[in-house]
Amino acid sequence: MKFSFSMSVGLVAALACCAAIAQNDTLAKIKASGTVQIGGRDSQVPFSYKPVGGGDPVGFTNDICLKIVDAIKAKLDMADIKVNYTILTSTNRIPLLTNGTVDLDCATTTNTVQRQQQVAFAPSHFVTNITAAVKKTSGINTLSDLSGKKVSTVSGSTGVQLLRGYRKSENIEVEELAAKDTADGFLLMASDRTVAYILDDVQLAGLIATSPNPGDFKILTKESLRQEPYGIMYRKDDPQFKELVDKTVTDLMKSGAVDQIYAKWFTKPIPPTNANLNFPMTDVVKELYRNPNNKGV
């Protein structure tokens, strides 16, 4: 049998097609490898963060993702599936998800309409407000007080765009200092290299609660740049995986099981310092759990 050029081109195209299909069949990928790849963070208290001394990330979103892993085990009838973690950042989380390095992004990613063009989101598991943390001695009480000041943000976060929009709409001048991650952004403010840190209020609460001197800081709670929903990311165009992930998260909410996970991380002492965030469930989050959805902002 002669192997013509046209046949070889057709074979390459077929293999490429099959590879694309395999890439979008997460359950098949997990079954073949025996491993679920989870994307975590090292400092997003209490959603996903690494304990002192190392080890795999822990936290509220991570616990929800482990429930998804349990559902995957049941679906594939594989009790010994391993969980492997990759620490992601705000800038690499989407590329490493779409290229197959991780299967689930389990942290504090905001579900936006723009990001939905690249990835899929599970029903949102939290709603936060984008605002600022400052030192109590700073004299800053409103976002407009930041005019003429230097503030820290996190590269690749929605807070960066929201702050720039606020600057334009309010006609104020603010100098931004971009941090590589959430912990670094807080350190810039705590060490007086900036006067404020723009981030989600709940993450700010976590950073303050676990800092050496939590009484030194406050969060501007009377206003925010935007209210944002957090969602667990996974790859688009994978209907079987989407059904499993969305059903698992929805069932946690509808059954009330998520309430216990929430209490564990937001209203009780958590590692590494046994700090209590004292962050009761808001009415917005309660409504979200009554009526799960994955609407983006």
CATH number of the CATH domain containing 32? 3.40.190.10
Residues 110 and 171 in one domain: no
Edge-first strand order for the sheet with 119-121 is 82-87, 35-40, 104-105, 233-235, 119-121
Q: Which domain range does residue 207 map to?
A: 128-228
Number of domains in the chain: 2
Q: Does residue 8 have a pLDDT over 60?
A: no
Residues 113 and 136 in one domain: no
Residues 157 and 31 in one domain: no
- Average pLDDT, rounded, for the chain: 91
Q: Does residue 21 have a pLDDT over 60?
A: no
> Per the structure block, which two tokens stand in for 271?
């590692």
Most confident of 200-204, 209-213, 241-245: 241-245
In a domain, 13, yes or no: no
Residues 104 and 135 in one domain: no
Q: What is the pLDDT of residue 12?
A: 41
Q: What is the mean pLDDT of residues 201-227?
A: 92
**Tens-digit pLDDT profile for residues 250-274:** 999 999 999 999 999 999 999 888 9
**Tens-digit pLDDT profile for residues 109-166:** 999 999 999 999 999 999 999 999 999 999 999 999 999 999 999 988 888 889 999 9
Residues 80 and 150 in one domain: no
How many other C-beta atoms lie within 10 A of the C-beta of residue 56? 14
